[in-house]
Amino acid sequence: MSAILIIEQILNGLQFGVMLFLMAAGLTLIFGVMGLINLAHGSFYMVGAFAAAAVAGVTGSFLLALIAALIVAALAGAMVEMVVIRRLYASDHLDQVLATFALILIFSEGTRWIFGSFPLYLNTPATLSGPVTLPGGIQYPLYRLALIAVGLAVWGGLWWLIERTRIGIQIRAGENDREMIAALGIDISRLYTLIFALGAALAGLAGALVGTIQSVQVGMGEPVLILAFVCIVIGGIGSIKGAFIGAILVGLTSTLGGIFLPELFKVFTDPATAQAAGASLASMSIYILMSLVLIWRPTGLFGARA
Amino acid sequence: MIAERWLNLAVLAGLLGVAVWARIADQPFTITLTTRAVILALAAVGLNIALGLGGLVSLGHAVFFGLGGYAMGILAFHVQTYTPLEIGPISIAGSTSMPVIWLTAIALSSLAALGIGLLSLRTSGAYFIMITLAFGQMFYYFAISWNRYGGEDGLSIYVRNGFPGLNTLIPFQFFGICFALLCLVLLIGDRLARSPFGLALNAARQVPVRVETVGLSPFRLKLVAFVISGAVTGLAGALFADLNRFVSPTMFSWQLSGELIVLVILGGVGRLIGPVVGAVLFVALEHLLGGLTDHWHVFLGLILLVIVLFARGGIVGLLSRRRLGDG
Amino acid sequence: MNKLLTCAAALALCAGAASAEIKVGMITTLSGGGASLGIDARDGFMLALEQSGRDDIEVIIEDDQQKPDIAVQLSDKMIQSERVDVMTGIIWSNLAMAVVPGAVNQGVFYLSVNAGPSQLAGPGCHENYFNVAWQNDNLHEAAGAWANQTGYSNSFMLAPNYPAGHDALTGYKRLYEGESAGEIFTELGQTDYAAEIAQIRASGADSVYFFLPGGMGISFLKQYADSGVDIPVIGPAFSFDQAILQAVGDAALGVVNTSQWSKDIDNPTNAAFVESFEEKYGRLPSLYASQGFDTANLLISALETAEPSDADAFRAALKAADFDSTRGEFSFGANHHPVQTIYAREVVKEGDIYTNKIIGTAIENHADAYVGECSM
Amino acid sequence: MADPVLSTDGLTKRFGALTASDGISLDVRPGEIHAVIGPNGAGKSTLIHQICGGLRPDHGRVHLLGQDVTALNTAARARAGLGRTFQISALAMEDSVLQNAMLGALGRSGRPWRFFGRALGDADLRARAEDCLARVGLADHLHARTATLSHGQRRQLEVAVALTLEPRIFIMDEPMAGLGSDGSAKLTRFLDRLREEAPILLVEHDMDAVFALADRVSVLVYGRVIATGTVAEIRSSAEVREAYLGEEG
């Protein structure tokens, strides 16, 4: 196994990780500030992807598609917050799980109703398609590099937003003490709607970006949602830093596990068995990682002590 | 206002009535549907022991449902293919006897619940929900890649397993078995809720710190509840597999875990008969709404939302005003 | 609902439904990610019935949502409540394994439009089970044979980690004589193949064989084209039907795939089928549509000789396969699976439509590998 | 002098830079009420948590009836004889008054692993629970839902649950909090008699009650015991006065 291959796989893991981060960031913000478990976050991922595919289909413009994904997902998020989620802040986790599960059913089946069952497809814009040669002779798809860049930029932007702006102060205050922000004279319900819409927009962006190289279909959000949950649970629910570290860890574990576990198993057993067993273990690896982290630290790497 | 006891009996009598009517009217498929509702009810009654009594929001109960299913699948598969099941040095022929399969299902799912509970109960709240979900995914992916037993394809069992003295292939007789088990488990669940253990568990859900200061361990109480809960759901899984004569990894899927929670909430959490009402309603909706529109999930979602937002006690809560926890 | 749907799908049949003598239960996938396969198979089947002009056949169509437990439920309903004579329609092997053994053991005839798991071809074969499409390994075996003909000697192989995926690579290797540059089992439902493509790039292979049905194949092909790796790709026809090709677009051009049917197979039945299908549904038929069409014609040909109530005669009539197939010659082997010729096709662009063109014969009069294990 | 029922030896607990308990050593002797007073933030709750097992001290030991219980968890300490009441009622609000008291009796019996038979049908447990409820004056409310009780009644129930445990020592965290003057006076009379059953470590803000009840008083300021003595000694201590005046001035 060459160094080039290993570096390429690490890039792949990073790219997967930062896209997970876009999902995880919203989830963790929503949990940190509002104390809400949102199973329907994957629906915004799907909504963003469908919005992008629809707009790209009409206009042919990738940029417009991305903007549409952001706007439509944010609007969907704001609407869902105002109609449903707002009534759940005081409820226990069980009600939240159930209500957001119901939202998944509505979003998924509703999207199927509108767009039909067959997947839609987006094309990478011409300027970003094809491979580039990196230092060291590594050939890597330009679009995936762009995804890594976008992910890191969003991370930086979120950091700036939370550490350096007025809204950030309000968000941090909200994480520490809900009554405090009310006491500060902040319109709390507007803040909540804003945060929810922001989280939804990030999920929608991820859906559009990833949908471009994969496919846009009903149900695409749930597998990513579960992975994003794993990220924030590993990182500690409520922590943006934790979500980022968790996402990168999950991205790398998932990508590298799929490559190296079968190789590792070949040391012990015949190639066919090693392939199958390695692949099986690889698909379980991130859940095993999560369980280990939780057994070691029941509130995640950067989570507040219970 | 209806006394809850009468409501419980009415629901069970209704189920039995539908099956008897279908038997007389020669509508075997209606019996099969009713059986499906009974089995799902059993699984949800199991979940309700953890969820309603213990306050444990498990998004991984499909693990036990699936284990029960695979207990049936694997035991019957070895008989069907005339290959002995070898566990280390022990070699057994498998089994097509329902009681043996049930005991195996209960044993396996209890054991899994013990292991998962020991690890998961260290966490609480959102973390508990997520770690149970993660265990569910682990089993799901394991089952998918376990090619010995069909992997993603699952296992097909051609003939329904047998029960001494009955012909289980006759839909009504199989219904009878499932219905009797449901009644038995409901009876046990009722006794459990009122027992000393139930009293302590009920308190451990509400104020764990109080339970500690009277010298009891909330962790152990919840662990035992989780194991009992897993065992019942496992039994339901074995029956479900026998109903379909088929098991597959979808029995481990997180959607199934979610649906089990839906059944419990639809009927009313913590109520004895709640999960049964929920399951009946779910199967009825599936077939009535499903008959009207392919997009019935949208309406199921809306109904769920309304229940969560406006009818916290579920259907049973609406029908019976008795507060939880009295007597 | 589903009876209504049936009427919508085949107006001609509804008028005669009251006098229907033969009941056919079709369980197929009409919703979810795999819906396009079921819809094509259904449309092909209904087209043949309509063209036959028979009004004594009632078809009950139900959607299995690609879920085995739903399929079993529907099958119970069709056998117990509707009392169907013949069942058909299942696309996926795991659903077939859940439904078919139970159905045929209850005396129903089952005609498979697509799924052909090895168990049902080998030790689990049954006198009432007929497969009109293929045994699952057929196209993979043909791909291996084609790789030999083309002179490939170092293939990289890729399939999802589930039974059909394992069968695919086994099938490919059964006839392929070259070396293996690497084998990967990916996660089922995986959508990102960056890691696998990197391995392909580093492997030094001279060809890539992949079996990734449905959306998985689309994602793979698009990402493969974007990665700049230019090792030639072969696959079975599953990833190259009409619907998928339009989605993949340019990324699929030039890829070789193996299929027992193609719209340019030169015989009058096929030409008429392609034309009438396009006219009725406004799209090109896929191989699933051809399989549905052939299945219905097989059924009609048997009904002309015998009634299902006379099981032995009806079985013999089916076995004779006395109908004009879109594939030309058609006959069943001892295990009731087709013995057929499989072609190599290349993806081309005709106007704005991406489609397949036959470039050669991969394997002729090929029977499956399991026929010896069947005791019929 | 009799051996102390409970003693702490140099309990120290730090949260980051804050030293919440700073070498606290005190004891409770048979038959006495030992009150702990101190301004807000003095570390009274932290002390109780360490005694009852909710927090592990960084240094120091806790002894109960001569046994070192520092390594035991809350439940084990309860079984060893600690009976605690909470500052903010920790009761099963959905359950009846009787069920709450039965929970204590069940804990005392040490036999929760009975899955059949009605808990309320267990004559021994029920007799003990009803007896303790009667002693605190809740005999007429056995079947009331706890959530419907008044604040004062909840405090009574807190005490009743502790009574069912028949503890060797009571740890009471501000039992007077939120009671009116009537209620305080009643509870004061009750605790005065209770000390004959088991000694009481009483953490309390209500100075009238403390001065009426306590045999000894310890004053906690910034995590440290600055004085321990009789009520008279504490009243006249310049140091205590300074601490309180400094706090309040």
Residue D87 forms part of a structural domain: no
Interface test with B, best of A83, A275, A284, A286 (most B CBs within 10 A): A284
Please name the residues in contact with B294: beta carbons below 8 A apart, sequence gap of 6 or more.
C1, C30, C31, C63
Shortest CB distance from C102 goes to which of B150, B154, B245? B245
* Predicted confidence band of residue B240 (pLDDT cuts 50, 70, 90): very high
Burial string for B128-146 (b: 16+ CB within 10 Å, else e) reads bbbbbbbbbbbbbbbbbbb
> Which residues in chain B have their CB less than 8 angstroms from residue A105's CB?
297-298, 300-301, 304
pLDDT tens profile C301-359: 999 999 998 999 999 999 999 999 999 889 999 999 999 999 999 999 988 889 999 99
pLDDT of residue A176: 65
- Do A235 and A246 touch, CB atoms closer than 8 A? yes
Domain of D73 in residue numbering reads as: 1-81+168-249
Q: Check CB contact of D49 with chain B, cutoff 8 Å.
A: no
Q: Are residues C234 and C367 in the same domain?
A: yes
- Do A203 and A23 touch, CB atoms closer than 8 A? yes
pLDDT of residue C13: 42
Residue type, C251: A
pLDDT of residue A70: 96
- Do B149 and B157 touch, CB atoms closer than 8 A? no
The residues in D 134-163 lying below 8 A from B, measured between CB atoms, are 143, 145, 161
The CA distance from D85 to B311, in Å, is: 36
- Do A295 and B115 touch, CB atoms closer than 8 A? no
pLDDT of residue A127: 87
Q: Are residues C231 and C355 in the same domain?
A: yes
Helix (H) or strand (E) holding C332: strand C331-332
Which value does ipTM take for this structure? 0.84
Q: Are residues C233 and C146 in the same domain?
A: yes
Q: Which long-range contacts (C-beta less than 8 Å, at least 24 apart) are formed by C8-13?
A: C9/C42, C9/C43, C9/C46, C9/C59, C9/C61, C10/C46, C10/C49, C10/C50, C10/C59, C12/C49, C12/C50, C12/C53, C12/C55, C13/C49, C13/C50, C13/C55, C13/C57, C13/C58, C13/C59
Q: Are residues C236 and C360 in the same domain?
A: yes
The CA distance from C115 to C64, in Å, is: 14
- Do D181 and D198 touch, CB atoms closer than 8 A? no
Token readout for B119 is 């690890």
Q: Is B28–C188 a contact, with Cβ atoms under 8 angstroms apart?
A: no
Which residues share a beta bridge with D33?
A: D200
> Which residues in chain D have their CB less than 8 angstroms from residue B195's CB?
114-119
> Which residues in chain B have their CB less than 8 angstroms from residue A275's CB?
none
| Residue linked to tokens 């709607």 | A193
Q: How many CB atoms lie within 10 A of CB A96?
A: 25
* Ramachandran region, residue C334 (left: φ > 0; alpha: ψ -120 to 50; beta: rest): alpha
Q: Check CB contact of B285 with chain A, cutoff 8 Å.
A: no
Higher-confidence position of A306 and B72: B72
| Residue linked to tokens 């682990």 | B138
Q: Where are the beta strands (DSSP E) in D30-140?
A: 33-37, 59-64, 67-68, 82-85
What is the DSSP code string of B144-155? HH-GGGTGGG-E
Average pLDDT over every residue of D131-154: 92
The residues in B 142-181 lying below 8 A from D, measured between CB atoms, are none
Q: Which chains touch D (3 or more CB pairs under 8 A)?
A: B
Distances (CA, A) of B2 to B185, B310, B320: 23, 20, 5
Residue D88 forms part of a structural domain: no
Average pLDDT over every residue of D86-110: 92
Query: Which stretches of chain C drop beneath a pLDDT of 70?
Result: 1-20, 32-33
Please name the residues in contact with C345: beta carbons below 8 A apart, sequence gap of 6 or more.
C237, C240, C256, C257, C258, C259, C262, C356, C357, C358, C359
Q: Is B194–D120 a contact, with Cβ atoms under 8 angstroms apart?
A: yes
pTM: 0.87
Q: Check CB contact of C204 with chain A, cutoff 8 Å.
A: no
- Do B151 and B233 touch, CB atoms closer than 8 A? no
- Do B278 and B266 touch, CB atoms closer than 8 A? yes
pLDDT at D248 over 70: no
The CA distance from D133 to D140, in Å, is: 9
Q: Are residues C226 and C284 in the same domain?
A: no
Token readout for A290 is 């999560």
Chains C and D touch (3+ CB pairs under 8 A): no
Average pLDDT over every residue of B294-305: 85
Helix (H) or strand (E) holding B316: helix B314-319
Shortest CB distance from A117 goes to which of C35, C161, C249? C35
Report the CATH number that the domain containing residue D7 is assigned in CATH: 3.40.50.300
- Rounded to the nearest angstrom, the minimum Cα separation between B112 and chain C is 24
Query: Which stretches of chain A drop beneath a pLDDT of 50?
Result: 305-306
pLDDT at D247 over 80: no
Q: Is C187–A255 a contact, with Cβ atoms under 8 angstroms apart?
A: no
> Cα–Cα–Cα angle for B243, B248, B250, nearest 5°?
100
The radius of gyration of chain B's CA atoms, rounded to the nearest angstrom, is: 19
CB pairs under 8 A between B and D: 119
The radius of gyration of chain D's CA atoms, rounded to the nearest angstrom, is: 18
Q: How many CB atoms lie within 10 A of CB B21?
A: 13
pLDDT of residue A304: 66
pLDDT of residue C258: 95
Q: For residue A231, give the nearest of A31, A9, A7, A10 by alpha carbon.
A: A31
The CA distance from A142 to A129, in Å, is: 6
Distances (CA, A) of B95 to A250, B72, B83, B92, B245: 41, 8, 11, 9, 14
- Do A50 and A111 touch, CB atoms closer than 8 A? yes
Q: Are residues C220 and C349 in the same domain?
A: yes
CB pairs under 8 A between A and B: 128
Shortest CB distance from D116 goes to which of B191, B215, B326? B191
Q: Is C227–A217 a contact, with Cβ atoms under 8 angstroms apart?
A: no
Q: Check CB contact of D41 with chain B, cutoff 8 Å.
A: no
Average pLDDT, chain B: 89
pLDDT of residue A123: 83
| Residue linked to tokens 């549409």 | A68
Q: Where are the beta strands (DSSP E) in C187-260?
A: 207-210, 233-236, 256-259
- Rounded to the nearest angstrom, the minimum Cα separation between B71 and chain C is 17
Q: Quickly list H helices, chain A.
A: 3-34, 41-59, 62-83, 93-115, 142-164, 166-176, 178-183, 188-213, 221-235, 240-266, 271-296
Please name the residues in contact with A55: beta carbons below 8 A apart, sequence gap of 6 or more.
A61, A64, A65, A68, A69
Report the CATH number that the domain containing residue C315 is assigned in CATH: 3.40.50.2300
> Which residues in chain B have their CB less than 8 angstroms from residue C31's CB?
294
Q: Quickly list H helices, C304-373.
A: 311-320
Q: Is C94–B152 a contact, with Cβ atoms under 8 angstroms apart?
A: yes
Q: Are residues D158 and D121 in the same domain?
A: yes
Residue C250 DSSP class: G
Q: Check CB contact of C319 with chain A, cutoff 8 Å.
A: no
Q: For residue B295, give the nearest of A109, A107, C30 by alpha carbon.
A: A109
Q: Which chains touch B (3 or more CB pairs under 8 A)?
A: A, C, D
Q: Are residues C45 and C191 in the same domain?
A: no
Q: Are residues C300 and C366 in the same domain?
A: no
Higher-confidence position of D245 and D249: D245
- Rounded to the nearest angstrom, the minimum Cα separation between A175 and chain B is 16
> Cα–Cα–Cα angle for A149, A251, C181, nearest 5°?
105
Percent of chain C past pLDDT 90, that is, above it, reads 60
Q: Is B131–A230 a contact, with Cβ atoms under 8 angstroms apart?
A: no
State how many domains chain D has: 2
Q: Check CB contact of B321 with chain D, cutoff 8 Å.
A: no
pLDDT of residue A180: 65
Shortest CB distance from B305 goes to which of A39, A99, A237? A99
The residues in B 40-59 lying below 8 A from A, measured between CB atoms, are 51, 57, 59
Q: Is B119–A299 a contact, with Cβ atoms under 8 angstroms apart?
A: no
- Rounded to the nearest angstrom, the minimum Cα separation between A1 and chain B is 26
- Rounded to the nearest angstrom, the minimum Cα separation between A293 and chain C is 24
pLDDT tens profile B302-321: 988 988 888 766 777 777 65
pLDDT at B99 over 60: yes
State how many domains chain C has: 2
Shortest CB distance from C227 goes to which of A9, A131, A276? A131
Domain of C237 in residue numbering reads as: 138-261+341-373
Q: How many CB atoms lie within 10 A of CB A242?
A: 24
Give the end of a domain, one of D112, D136, D166.
D166
Q: Check CB contact of B224 with chain D, cutoff 8 Å.
A: yes
Q: Check CB contact of D12 with chain B, cutoff 8 Å.
A: no
Determine which of B81-95, B132-146, C91-105 has the lowest per-residue pLDDT on average.
Answer: B81-95
Shortest CB distance from B29 goes to which of C72, C81, C98? C81
Q: Are residues C240 and C362 in the same domain?
A: yes
Q: Check CB contact of B298 with chain A, cutoff 8 Å.
A: yes
